[in-house]
A = this chain, B = another copy of it.
Amino acid sequence: MTSSDPRFSGRVTLPVEEGMDDELAAIIDRLGADAVRNSDGTWLPKIVSNLGTKVYSTRFCARGDEAWALDHLDEHVSLYLCSDRVPALEDGPLEIHIMRGFFAEQVRPDTDVDVKRWWQVRDRTTDEVIDDWTVSGEGADCVVAVPATAGHVYTVAFLAAQLWDTTQMYNYTTNHWENDPTRSKEHPFDVVHPATWNHVQESLSEWLDAHPEVDVVRFTTFFYHFTLYFNEQAKEKFVDWFGYSASVSVPLMEAFEAETGWQINPEDFIDAGYHNSSFRPPSQFFLAWIDFVNRFVTDRVRRLVEICHDKGREAMMFLGDNWIGTEPYGELFATTGLDAVVGSVGSSATCRMISDIPGVHYTEGRFLPYFFPDVFNDEGDPVGEANTSWVQARRAIVRKPLDRIGYGGYLSLANQYPEFMERIEQICQEFRDIWERSGGKTARTAPFRIGILNCWGARRTWMSHMVAHALYYKQAAPYLGVVEALAGLPFDIDWLDFDDIRDGVPEGIGVLINTGSAGTAFSGAQEWTDVTVQAAVRTFVARGGGFIGVGDPTYWPGDGACFRLSDVLGVDREIGWSLSTDRYPNVVDSHFITDGLALEVGPVAPEIVPVCDDTEVLELDDGSIHAAVHTLGKGRAVYLAGLPYTVDNSRLLHRAIWWAAGRDDEFADQFIADDPRVETACYDEAGLLLVTNLSFDEVTTTISGLDDEVTLAPAGSAWINISA
């Protein structure tokens, strides 16, 4: 075994830092790391060039140069904010303290802009714009006086200057940098301003020259942070990992107007206070704004990549922090020239979000836990978190492998936990084994494709139903679970928006899935009022296609149905309008889909009722349907009330897909473990079957197509020869 044998080393990136020179070589050898990096708040040690690894270095483009930021405070990035909803109790002037509820250290009302153009006062009761208002005071004391009518509610939309980068704020707070006099609170700056843009380019160039030891520039990330702001107690007030409200500036908006002809209304950003959350069906404006920012960001990213390439370095993007505008699944992404993308793996879906990105040379997953004191402490469970992270990632990796894995944070901290270091050593080796034995081929998938249908389509590949990156939201979990399950199941997936199906469901799709809560972009909202959409899906099913709806599929009440395809699904949501209709659910004793599995639907609204005589109910809870199937013409439909990720639910979805496709008789040919805690990946070319245990118990199971039982250690895996 040598460190250059690809079976035992490589594909792993390790965070390093100053002050542990004596231990570094041994740790690198042990983990088989072939690259090292620094993290936010750490610096590469001087010996980095002697470690025999590639060297990544973090690089910020919108913060981290506080001297520049302080000299150019007017080149800040802005944020569109909306005041509280303030009711007028009497007729007459109403004073709205617009900074009420916001954190004055993070944002400052920007009264330097043309406030009558870029701010807006709205009567939310009449939905009218109010013109005759005045602004006074500054910062936290800023007040807008509105001529008000008693009983109406008013809001003020305003532009705020960002004073503190929000990820740096998180790192600063988590690591108690307030006790470190060398640390400052970093102001973000905006490359839309020519001086700043020139400075960013020049300083990158100079920095590269000054750091010949750096092989890979790890951009963390580029120019615009996702939307995140805080309340008066510095607690998180709003977070949207996909939000475009923190990439706003007057020059950028003016450029948008000039290019598109659109006349921006502040309400376009405010969106009644919802800030174009990705759960909102996207407005025409918002899609145009994303496209515009994407073009702007892509052009500037391309230039920075060129600088790196010109100096013989690779350029890697961290998919996080200031990733807004890069749109990794957009058509422009490959034109940036980026060599690689690295991202945090918090689940199977976030792993696929990274590994599926097209147009880059390689992808890398930064595994959890991050080596920070919030996990590495006496109460924390670093080994447990590493195991969970690995089991989630492994499901995804066997479907579409990451090229590399790595960790981040303080290595000196993690190195104080020997069990943890031992465990990640095993994980690194298990990851390399998958590459080695599969020969770099992906595992076998079903002979038909899956279409996931929502308002975002391919643009938000593996990004649906998320609010903050990989964080649990109970309201989204019953739908995100579908995505999480699919990320580790052997299917080829197309992410479709409604334009993709108006002329018919694309060829090759065997099963279409629509999942989400009522009225959201993910279930589709008003799109289901489109006749061509309804007809496309109905005829797709009638001619033999499968349709799986989870939660409130096709929901938009009208024409006598809440689920517009209630006749396909055989069920509908009862919202109180049809209580007069008696329901007689036909509960069947058993079904292929639920065979031996415990369905858990999560916290979903009740009252799903049968609306067709031939609807078969697979599970009924207090009169409300949790699972049902229905046939229409030659096709089949499956309804599930919710599907948070569990091993049983994932297997149930796996079975439901084959059933909906009308090919349930072929399911046993897919090397299916009898125990749903065990998954398999079939590498036909290599003649190998990878069998993985998703649980932390030892599991013994039979597998269809194999003669012998298989026993797997907790979270373990086994390779089985299946060649003839």
Query: Which residues 496-537 of A sit at the B interface, judged by CB distance below 8 A?
Result: 516-520, 531, 534-537
Among A106-114, A283-291, A580-588, the stretch in contact with B: A580-588
A273: which B residues are within 8 A, CB to CB? Answer: 560, 578
Given A538-B151, A560-B273, also A237-B579 (CB < 8 A): no
B542-A87 in contact (CB<8A): yes
Interface string of A111-152 (1 = CB under 8 A from B): 000000000000011110000000000000000000001111
Residue of B whose beta carbon sits closest to that of A271: B560
What CA separation (Å) do A90 and B635 show in the bound complex?
13
User: Are A127 and B559 neighbours in the complex by a CB distance under 8 Å?
Assistant: yes
A277 and B534 within 8 A (CB): no
Contact A560 B227 (CB under 8 A): no
Q: Is A473 an interface residue (CB 8 A)?
A: yes
The chain B residue with its CB closest to the CB of A611 is: B85
CA distance A519 to B558 in the complex (A): 12
Encode contact with B along A206-233: 1 for CB under 8 Å, 0 otherwise: 0000000000000000000001000100
A89-B542, A152-B535, A580-B275 as given contacts; A125 in contact with B467, CB under 8 Å? no
Query: Could you say which of B90, B126, B518, B542 contacts A531, with CB atoms under 8 Å apart?
Result: B126
User: Is B579 touching A519 in the complex (CB atoms < 8 A)?
Assistant: no
A151–B539 contact, CB under 8 A? yes
Residues of B within 8 A of A558 (CB): 127, 272
Q: Are A632 and B87 in contact (CB under 8 A)?
A: yes
Residues of B within 8 A of A419 (CB): none
In the complex, chain B residues whose CB is within 8 Å of the CB of A613:
101
Q: Which of A582, A606, A612, A623 has the most CB of B within 10 A?
A: A582
Residues in A592-607 with C-beta less than 8 Å from chain B: 603, 605-607
Are A243's CB and B151's CB within 8 A? no
Given contacts A87-B538, A538-B151, A633-B89, contact A582 B236 (CB under 8 A): yes
The interface residues of chain B lying within 8 Å CB-to-CB of A607 are 475
Query: Are B531 and A152 interface neighbours, CB within 8 A?
Result: yes
- The residue on B at minimum CB distance from A562 is B519
A663 within 8 Å of B by Cβ?
no
**How far apart are the CA atoms of A611 and B124 in the complex, in Å?**
15
Does the CB pair B536–A580 fall under 8 Å? Answer: no
Contact (Cβ within 8 A) B151 A536: yes
Give the nearest-CB partner of A584 in chain B: B235
Assuming A535-B150, A560-B155, is B279 touching A579 (CB within 8 A)? yes
Interface: A557 (CB within 8 A) = yes
Chain B residues near A574 (CB-CB < 8 A): 475
Q: List 22 A-B contacts (CB under 8 A).
A: A85-B611, A87-B567, A89-B538, A90-B542, A125-B535, A126-B531, A150-B535, A151-B542, A153-B567, A235-B584, A238-B580, A239-B580, A272-B559, A274-B577, A274-B578, A279-B577, A467-B579, A467-B580, A474-B622, A476-B579, A518-B575, A520-B577
